[in-house]
């Protein structure tokens, strides 16, 4: 039983699932959760990258510090070039390069009118110990700048700054990040700069692992967003259902389950006034309910009311609005119904209750029915109700337990007689 009930509740929840609401709730949850996950990850990635650039910049500064600035300055003039001078100036950089396996290239350059030229290159030394296959640059080999390179980095280095590329580069040897630091001689004069190309294989491998973790956490966040969206939608559906149930309880009569006065006004009045075809209003009254309550008790009276409600439901057509409009008064609003069909509804209700005697109590009751009809658009509920009530009074006056249809001329004549009697 519990499994069946749970399945029924789940099916009902799915039927009530609002896809737009589900989509919006999921999107909002996804934005929040992805932001919570992605922003720290992005900030962490930026921090790691900034730390790497700072580290590479420090490596460049260390490389510049081991260069003999006086020898390097002398070597910058091609007239002074000798193989011995080149090797002496290069030796400290070779030892420095050999000590760090994560360095691709170490070299020095000189700026000639905004164009850099290679001076020293550790790849030219047979004493270099490295795991990379390198190609040495020739002495005073020109370095080709990119077309969009304005040479500002050369000016920054000449002003004493250590320049680290904003992004890593890739060539035939792999991915690397370059740092350039100025070289000074013993008199503090700018004497070219050193360049270090730092191997990023370890860094990129580490970032790949972080990327997998990031993708996993983002996927988890999106899945959680879907779950949250579903739960929010189900919760809202439950709230709406409770509101609908509460509203339904305010427009239904607690004893009979029929619409009450408020329910008629909320659901029937506007529909009746908008309807363009024939319509009818039946007013059904329990003739002797007060006497039953007085002689048999309120409980027996409630049983009578419930029985009459069933008879009204049974006699009405499918789609007709049935209501308990007062203590002993019932109402049927039938759209697409003329006087003859309305009279047939009333007769079915009377046949259902005719001669009925309540078990055990012996309580007998009868019904009177008044009918008012309207042909065309613009039917007014209040006017139809007054007309049906006038017909009901006529049915009671003629002996009760019968049906009367509103006659405008008869109502006018009775109203006129009443006014004359009051005047006399």
Using DSSP's 3-state secondary structure scheme, residue 365 falls into: coil
Kindly list the domain boundaries of the chain, sorted by start residue. Answer: 7-251, 253-423
Q: What is the pLDDT of residue 363?
A: 63
Residues 6 or more apart whose Cβ sits within 8 Å of residue 163 = 153, 156, 157, 179, 180, 181
Fold of 253-423: Alpha-Beta Plaits (3.30.70)
How much is the pTM?
Answer: 0.59
For residue 355, the model assigns a pLDDT of 63
pLDDT for the residue 289:
85
The H-assigned helical ranges of 179-288 are: 201-251, 261-263, 269-274
| Cβ atoms of 297 and 341 closer than 8 Å | no
The tens-digit pLDDT sequence of the chain (424 residues) is 444 554 555 555 555 567 888 889 999 999 999 999 999 999 999 999 999 999 999 999 999 999 999 999 999 999 999 999 999 999 999 999 999 888 999 999 999 988 999 999 999 999 999 888 888 999 999 998 888 888 899 999 999 999 999 998 887 778 899 999 999 999 999 999 999 999 998 899 999 999 999 999 999 999 999 999 999 989 888 888 898 888 888 889 889 999 999 888 887 887 887 888 899 999 999 988 888 888 888 888 888 899 999 999 999 999 999 999 988 999 999 999 999 999 999 999 999 887 665 554 556 788 999 999 998 777 888 899 999 999 999 998 888 788 999 987 655 434 434 433 433 3
Coil vs helix vs strand at 59: helix
- The CATH number of domain 7-251 is 3.40.50.720: no
Chain center to CA of 132: 53
Comparing CA positions, the residue from 142, 141, 137, 146 lying closest to residue 169 is: 146
Rounded to a whole number of angstroms, the CA Rg of the chain reads 49
pLDDT at 13: 52
Q: How far is CA 84 from each of CA 71, 185, 419, rounded to the nearest angstrom?
A: 11, 19, 139
Given the structure tokens 């290239």, which residue do they identify?
105
Q: Which residue has the tokens 């081991």?
A: 66
User: What tokens does 243 get?
Assistant: 């509101």
pLDDT at residue 417 in the model: 42
From the list 33, 37, 24, 32, the residue with the least C-alpha distance to 230 is 24
CA 334 to CA 316: how far, in whole Å? 8
Q: What is the DSSP string of 178-193?
A: EEEEEEE-TT--EEEE
């Amino acid at each position: 039983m519990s499994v069946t009930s749970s399945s029924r509740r789940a099916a009902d929840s799915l039927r009530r699932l609002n896809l737009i609401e589900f989509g919006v709730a999921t999107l909002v949850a996804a934005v929040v959760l992805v932001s919570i996950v992605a922003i720290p990850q992005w900030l962490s990635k930026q921090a790691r990258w900034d730390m790497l650039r700072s580290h590479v910049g420090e490596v460049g500064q260390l490389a510049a510090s081991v260069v003999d600035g006086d020898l390097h300055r002398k070597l910058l003039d091609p007239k002074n070039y000798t193989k011995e001078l080149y090797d002496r100036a290069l030796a400290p950089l070779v030892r420095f390069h050999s000590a760090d396996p994560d360095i691709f290239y170490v070299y020095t350059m000189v700026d000639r009118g905004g164009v850099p030229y290679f001076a020293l290159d550790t790849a030219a030394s047979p004493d270099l110990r490295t795991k990379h296959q390198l190609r040495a640059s020739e002495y005073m080999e020109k370095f080709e700048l990119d077309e969009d390179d304005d040479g500002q980095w050369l000016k920054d280095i000449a002003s004493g700054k250590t320049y680290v590329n904003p992004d890593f580069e890739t060539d035939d040897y792999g991915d690397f990040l370059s740092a350039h630091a100025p070289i000074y001689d013993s008199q503090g004069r700018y004497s070219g700069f050193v360049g270090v190309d730092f191997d990023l294989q370890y860094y990129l491998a580490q970032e790949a692992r972080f990327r997998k973790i990031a993708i996993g956490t983002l996927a988890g966040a999106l899945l959680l967003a879907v779950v949250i969206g579903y739960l929010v939608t189900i919760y809202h559906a439950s709230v709406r259902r409770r509101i609908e149930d509460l509203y339904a309880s305010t427009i239904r009569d607690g004893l009979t389950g029929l619409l009450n006065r408020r329910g008629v006004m909320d659901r029937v009045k506007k529909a009746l006034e908008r309807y363009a075809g024939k319509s009818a209003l039946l007013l059904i009254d329990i003739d002797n309910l007060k006497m039953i309550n007085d002689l048999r008790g309120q409980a027996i009276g409630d049983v009578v009311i419930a029985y009459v409600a069933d008879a009204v439901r049974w006699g009405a057509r499918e789609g007709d609005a049935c209501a308990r409009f007062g203590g002993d008064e019932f109402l049927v609003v039938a759209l697409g119904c003329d006087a003859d069909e309305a009279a047939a509804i009333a007769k079915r209700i009377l046949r259902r209750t005719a001669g009925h005697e309540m078990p055990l109590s012996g309580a007998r009751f009868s019904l009177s029915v008044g009918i008012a009809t309207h042909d065309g658009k613009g039917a007014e509920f209040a006017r139809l109700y007054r007309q049906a009530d006038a017909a009901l009074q006529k049915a009671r006056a003629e002996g009760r337990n019968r049906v009367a249809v509103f006659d405008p001329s008869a109502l006018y004549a009775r109203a006129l007689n009443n006014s004359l009697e009051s005047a006399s």
